[in-house]
Amino acid sequence: MLTIALTKGRILQETLPLLAKAGVEPLEDIHSSRKLIFPTTLDDVSLVVIRGTDVPTYVRYGAAQVGVVGKDILLEHGADGVYEPLDLGIARCRLMTAAPTGRIRSRGKLRVATKFVNVARDFYAEKGQQVELIKLYGAMELAPLMNLADEIVDIVDTGNTLRANGMEPLEIIADISSRIIVNKAAMRSHHAQVRHLIERLQSALDDRGQGQ
């Protein structure tokens, strides 16, 4: 059995059509079901739907052989024990710094709110900027408004939320999209299945690109 771990939310919505083109479809509606594990149109493939931050862990330890996860998660938590053979090019966004519009950056230590503490630490260290990192799990835009932080590091899609809260994006840390990851041992033990899946997904991406 080949188990594919999928990330909840927007990534799931954009992944399912690609899987369908690759011949993998759940036997029931994932969005309306309370189940977490789903059989598919292929007897030897199942899907599991979990939080994005958990996908690399399930794949790393072999509970799932394949996963779909955002590059931001891989950058923050590392990609030890997995291969990253395919960029699906979906759920595109940017990991950026942002601050209140028009603010002049202090020359001293910055307070930076983010859930991407490892990425932020490396980014500011490379710039030679001293920072105090404050870990939050959501509503990053609130931190500067409440004087909790000078800047934030967060995922930016359209930038509308930033603008609505009087903030502006500053520097791009990384362009983000969703990737296929594969357990390193499974690349050998399930080689034929994994290779076939990746080839079908690549074909689906090629067809989509030609249709644009």
* pTM, to two decimals: 0.91
Q: Exposed, middle or buried: residue 137 (CB in 10 Å: 0-12, 13-18, 19+)?
A: exposed
Are 185 and 161 within one domain? no
Q: Helix (H) and strand (E) counts for the chain? A: 8, 11
Token digits for 26? Answer: 């759940």
Are 102 and 74 within one domain? no
Which residues touch 56 (CB under 8 Å, ≥6 apart)? 67, 69, 73, 74, 77, 78, 79, 82, 181
Judge whether residue 106 has pLDDT over 80: no
pLDDT, tens only, 199-208 = 999 999 998 7
Mean pLDDT of the chain: 95
Structural domain for 138, as ranges: 93-174
Of 108 and 97, which is predicted with more confidence? 97
Are 78 and 98 within one domain? no
Are 62 and 19 within one domain? yes
CB 66 within 8 A of CB 4: yes
Judge whether residue 211 has pLDDT over 60: no
Are 27 and 75 within one domain? yes
Are 185 and 170 within one domain? no
| DSSP string over 172-192 | EEEEE-EEEEEETTHHHHTHH
What phi-psi label fits residue 127: left (phi over 0), alpha (psi between -120 and 50 degrees) or beta? alpha
Are 73 and 113 within one domain? no
What phi-psi label fits residue 52: left (phi over 0), alpha (psi between -120 and 50 degrees) or beta? alpha
Mean pLDDT of 97-111: 90
Amino acid at 157: D
Are 184 and 166 within one domain? no
Domain count, the chain: 2
The domain that holds 168 is classified in CATH as 3.40.190.10
Element spanning 112, H or E? strand 110-114
Are 167 and 122 within one domain? yes
Are 116 and 170 within one domain? yes
CB 86 within 8 A of CB 194: no
Mean pLDDT of 34-48: 96
Are 56 and 98 within one domain? no
Are 125 and 29 within one domain? no
CB 90 within 8 A of CB 178: yes
